[in-house]
């Protein structure tokens, strides 16, 4: 169940995704929060930075800098995490992930849940609409982002 705090941070992740889309990149945004406190925010930077692993979640984690622990954080992401990002979530011990949507890309919710991560899928209509637009307008870039030929 989404809390008001979840909705606030998910909106920031969506705003990051929208900004990435406007920059010509893949519209995936992410936020790392500790309770009600924003730790960092980021967006997919693969196109903008020419970095193949600069997914939204990775950008937010990079911007968070070193943390003594992640066990008291929540990661918010506009789109369900890919396996690379899901593995990082598990590696860092992030206990909770709020996903904007998984209708356009079914990520790795089962992988995360099997490793004890609480996963909440918001089915956010704005996140769905933005990704649907991106996939329709830039199918080649989307295929590149998810490593499909």
Which tens digits make up the pLDDT trace of 23-37? 999 999 999 999 999
Which residue out of 16, 19, 22, 57 is catalytically annotated?
Answer: 57
Is 57 considered catalytic here?
yes
Tokens 């598990």 identify what position?
Answer: 90
Q: Which domains does the chain have, with CATH numbers?
A: 4-146 (3.40.140.10)
Question: Does 149 have pLDDT greater than 70?
Answer: no
pLDDT at 38: 98
- Could you give the angle at the alpha carbon of 10 between the alpha carbons of 35 and 114, nearest 5°? 75
pTM of structure: 0.95
For residue 43, the cross-strand partners are 29
With 0-12 / 13-18 / 19 or more C-beta atoms within 10 angstroms meaning exposed / middle / buried, residue 83 is: exposed
Which tens digits make up the pLDDT trace of 75-133? 999 999 999 999 999 999 999 999 999 999 987 999 999 999 999 999 999 999 999 99
């Amino acid at each position: 169940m989404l809390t008001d705090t979840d909705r606030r941070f998910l909106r920031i992740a969506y705003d990051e995704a929208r900004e990435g889309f406007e920059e010509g990149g893949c519209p995936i945004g992410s936020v790392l929060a500790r309770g009600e406190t924003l730790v960092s925010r980021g967006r997919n930077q693969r196109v903008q930075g020419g970095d193949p692993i600069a997914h939204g979640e990775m950008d937010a984690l990079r911007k968070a800098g070193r943390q003594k622990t992640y066990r008291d954080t929540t990661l918010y992401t506009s789109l369900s995490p890919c396996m690379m990002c899901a593995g990082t979530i598990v590696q860092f011990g992030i206990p909770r992930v709020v996903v904007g949507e998984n209708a356009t890309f079914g990520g790795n919710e089962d992988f995360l849940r099997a490793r004890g991560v609480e996963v909440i899928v918001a089915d956010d209509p704005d996140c769905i609409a933005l990704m649907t637009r991106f996939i329709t307008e830039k199918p080649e870039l989307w295929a590149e982002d998810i490593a499909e030929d």
